[in-house]
Amino acid sequence: ITEARRAREDAQSAKSLLTETQRMAKLGGWELNLETDHQLWTEETYRIHEVDDGYQPDLEGGLSFFPGKSRKIIEKAIQKAIDTGQPYDLELDFITAKGIPLFVRCKGKAHRKNGKIFKLSGTIQDITERKISENALKESEARYRRLAENAPEIIYRYRFFPAPGFEYVNPAATAITGYTPEEHYADPELGLKLIHPDDR
């Protein structure tokens, strides 16, 4: 009895750990039976969709959370998985049942039985925070580049490892030194050569 109880407790602990891990990673799992159109969702998948655990998911219902272009992309990927068994890994726009816009990463793969694809399974992950950070970084880099491209003075970025060389030189370098950015990239010591020997 003690061993059986311990086994049940271990199984419960493992399930709780898995649930907590999925919640921390914002990663849910799903499975679609193509013969019955019935889906199984993990607890985190319900949470990402913002539906209660009484919600009965099916393929059409699951697709309804993807707006516009994203829905067309996921529909095409799923159909290709069904037809050819090709897996997919996509990052798409998503709208929860409560109208909250998210970015999600969707992965899916096909399962065969007797040579026939009968089931799809995969994951859905809320990557909204990561995408917001990436977009903010891209906007910041674009602003920096616009400023650097139009600055009247030389702006450059130089690396020392793994090998020395210019990573970026703005157009003002050509007007001031007569050398193009490409010539700077080709000669890591060009900047030093342009400095008067007494000042090196």
Continuous segment of H or E residues that includes residue 98: none
Per-residue pLDDT tens over the stretch 36-88: 888 899 999 999 999 998 898 888 889 999 999 999 999 999 999 999 999 99
Residue 56: per-residue pLDDT: 87
Report yes or no on whether pTM surpasses 0.75: no
Per-residue pLDDT tens over the stretch 8-29: 655 565 566 556 666 667 899 9
Spatial contact of 34 and 10, defined as CB atoms under 8 Å apart: no
Q: Which residues have a Cβ under 8 Å from the Cβ of 27 and sit 6 or more positions away?
A: 44, 123, 124, 125
Distance from C-alpha of 157 to C-alpha of 62, rounded to nearest angstrom? 47
Residue 5: per-residue pLDDT: 66
